[in-house]
Each structure stands twice: as structure tokens, then as C-alpha cells.
Amino acid sequence: MITILTKATKAITLTLTFVMTLLQSVSQPAPPVASVTEAPLPNIQVRQILVDTPAAKTGSYQEISADPAEGEFNIPDTEPIRRSDLTPFYGEEYVCTIIWRATPPEGEAPYWLSTPDSPEELYTDIPYTYLAGSLIRNGVVDASECPNDGLLPNGSADTCGLEAARTAVTEWQNQFNEPIYNFANANALPAVLLKRVFAIESQFWFGISLDGYHAGLGHTTPIGLDPLFLYYPNYFNTICPLLFTDKTCEGTYSELSSADKAMMRGYLYNTRVDATCPACPYGVDLDKANSSIDIFAKLINSNCHQTNTLFLNITEAYAGSSAAYEDLWKFTMANYTAGPGCMGDAYLRTYNQGEEFNWENVSRNLVGACEAAIPYVDAISY
């Protein structure tokens, strides 16, 4: 519960600030921005993955090759979701659609649940003050001509700092478009959704958050990685032998003790998610940040699984039998930010009240700190 409250409280402060600037975004691609003048931005090496092949569109990925001796590991996710013979994969549909056994509406999908024809169409130009402050604090932008180096007490940029960092902010938020696009396709996930999650959670700065609890582009906590181990067993099968005895690893992740689960989550968090690197340029490991996009795509798919599990527990039927397609995505993103405790309680209240499972009813049954999921989902799904 402590973790849920921390995550939800963080969502309130970051999301309310973000909503105002999010409405200024442009959904159409724009010409490339000019080069950053304050400081050169490091290039991200995009890992080559399958994009335009049937395998990519059905959720297959190349293996992540690494040397365990160097604290890395190999995750060959050849079967990205657990599905029985009764839940076949229907070609180009998103993984979550299959998990829920949902039926997408006819016609064009809502923009936030779409994947454009090219990475360039993910272009945005939003004046993120938190990102601007991060770029200033880490030496990417020189705002020394501004009072207090252009920084507010909370670490975000003030008006002067944002003006000094404006070009860098635009270039920084768009340098991830290609890996976001590629990993979204590889994981059969909407690319626009994936980018918006990063925008809301971290404003594309992937170090430790100012509250000290979250890291990565998707600002997860170690316990937030729990669904990844539950629904992608290859993560458990690969990491467990690096930490524990063969006997401990004979079972499944859910059978581990709480302490052992925490150790596994912490290992993944520290080695693959937290890109903070004091010895690296600008204090971040861009290679780790790039590869972590794949992890966050899988984590969203895992939250789709968790959403479906909650519906199975309450209604004894797949989520697609109880809720509409777009509402299920909203439920999943609420689950991502507030956790299954908040969402399970909201579903149960909705069920006991005899109400339809839609976002209006379920969100009304989010109480206390869980209410932070409402502006979060609204900011993603506009």
C-alpha cells in the first residue's frame, strides 16, 4: 500500500502539471528541429529489431545478447504472452486485444491507441519544464545566464531556464521516436500510447526521479516490475539462476518468498531500468535507456494481463466480455500507475453496485490516493 500511495501521489503532482502542456502538442509530424546549440546531444544507437515482418507484428523479438559476468543477461522472449490453444493470435492485432479477448471498434482507432506509418509521425514539441530542468542540472544545457541557473526549487526549469533549453527539449523528446516505434511494433503495442506513457511519467528523462523512488523512461519502482515476472516467465528463468540456487529456481516467481522476489525485482531495476550513470556523459547510460524501452513495452502488456486477471477473478469471464475496447486500455493504464489494489477495489465496487464496467463508472469508484489515476488516464487518452 505504501508503494501505491507513493506512486499515486507522484502522479498527482507530475500529471496535473503535465496536462496543461500536453494540450499544446502537435499530433502531425513536423520538420526536423535545428541542432541543439547549448550542448551536443548524444546519439542513441537503435537496436535492430524486426519491424516490417509478420513475426514482428505478432509480438516476436530478437534476443537481447549480453554477458552475465558483466551483470547483464539474455532474455529470449520468443513467447511474449501466455496463451492457450483457445486464445489464438490473430495476426496484426495488439497483444492486449488477444489477452482480453476484446473486439476493437470498427473504423479508425483513437489516435492514442494507434501506431503511425513511420517514427517521424511520433514527433512532438511540448515545453516540458521537468525535462528542461533535468537537462540543465545534468549539463546538457547551459542556463548560467538565468537567475539560479534557470531552476526552480523543485528541480524544474523556470521561464528563463525553459527558454534556454527549448531547442534541446524538443530534440531530446524526439530522439526516442525510432526505438519507441520499433519496440512498440515488436511488442504489438500502440506506439503513440508508449510515447505518451514516457511523456507523462518522466518527460523523457530516464534517471532517478526527484522523489527518489522511480527510474527509467516509464518511471517504475522495483515493485512495479512485479507483473513482468508474473507474465513473462523468461525473465524469472533467466535472472533467478544468477541470484539463487537451482533448487530455489525450480518453481515459479509467484512461489518465491517476498524477500527473494524483492531481490529479483531490484536486480532487474538496477541492471536494466535505472539508467543513472555518474561516469557517463550527462550522467545517464543511453544504451541502457534505449534497451529499457523494450522492458516498458512488455510491462504495459503485463498490465493488460493483470487487468484481465482481475476481471476473471470478479466476473469469471475475460475482460473483453465485460468492457469496451477503449475502456480496457484506460483500465490498464490506471493499473500501471495506481496498481491492482486500487483497480481491483474499484472493479469490485462497480460490480457490487450492478453498474456497467466503463471508465466513467470505474473511475468514480477510485477512492483516496487511487483517484490520482483519473487525471493520469485523461492525460494519456485525450
Which pLDDT value is given to residue 112?
Answer: 96
Cα separation, 309 vs 326, in Å, equals: 18
Is the separation of the CB atoms in 121 and 29 below 8 Å?
Answer: yes
Q: Where are the domains of the chain?
A: 2-380
The string of DSSP letters for 295-325 reads HHHHHHHHHHHHHHHHHHHHHSS-GGGTS-H
Q: Which runs of consecutive H residues, i.e. helices, occur in the chain? A: 2-22, 54-57, 95-100, 129-137, 159-174, 177-186, 191-202, 226-231, 233-243, 258-268, 286-315, 325-338, 340-352, 359-364, 373-380
270, pLDDT greater than 70: yes
Distance CA 142, CA 155 (A): 15
Please say if the pLDDT value at position 55 is more than 60. no
Residue pair 33/131 in contact (Cβ under 8 Å)? The answer is no
Check residue 208 and give its pLDDT: 61
The residue-averaged pLDDT of 188-212 equals: 84
Task: Select from 87, 78, 84, 81 the least CA-distant residue to 55.
Answer: 78
Confidence bin at 376 (pLDDT 50/70/90): very high
Q: What is the tens place of the pLDDT at every residue in 79-90? A: 343 333 223 333
Look at residue 212 in the predicted model and tell me its pLDDT: 57
Helix, strand, or coil (residue 177): helix
**303/197 Cα distance (integer angstroms):** 13
Give the pLDDT confidence of 151-161 residue by residue, as tens digits. 999 999 999 99
Is residue 98 classed exposed, middle or buried when 0-12, 13-18 and 19+ CB atoms within 10 A define those classes? Answer: buried
Does the pLDDT of residue 46 top 90, yes or no? no
Going by C-beta distance under 8 Å and a sequence separation of 6 or more, which residues neighbour residue 286? 42, 44, 45, 275, 280
3-state class of 51 per DSSP? coil
Residue 9 has pLDDT above 70, yes or no: no
Which pLDDT score, from 0 to 100, does residue 138 have? 87
Query: Side-chain half-sphere of 242: how many Cα atoms within 13 Å?
Result: 21
The mean pLDDT value of the chain amounts to 78
Angle at 122 between CA 374 and CA 41, to 5 degrees: 105
Q: What pTM does this model have?
A: 0.76
78 pLDDT higher than 90: no
Confidence class for position 91, pLDDT limits 50, 70, 90: very low
> Is residue 334's pLDDT more than 80?
yes
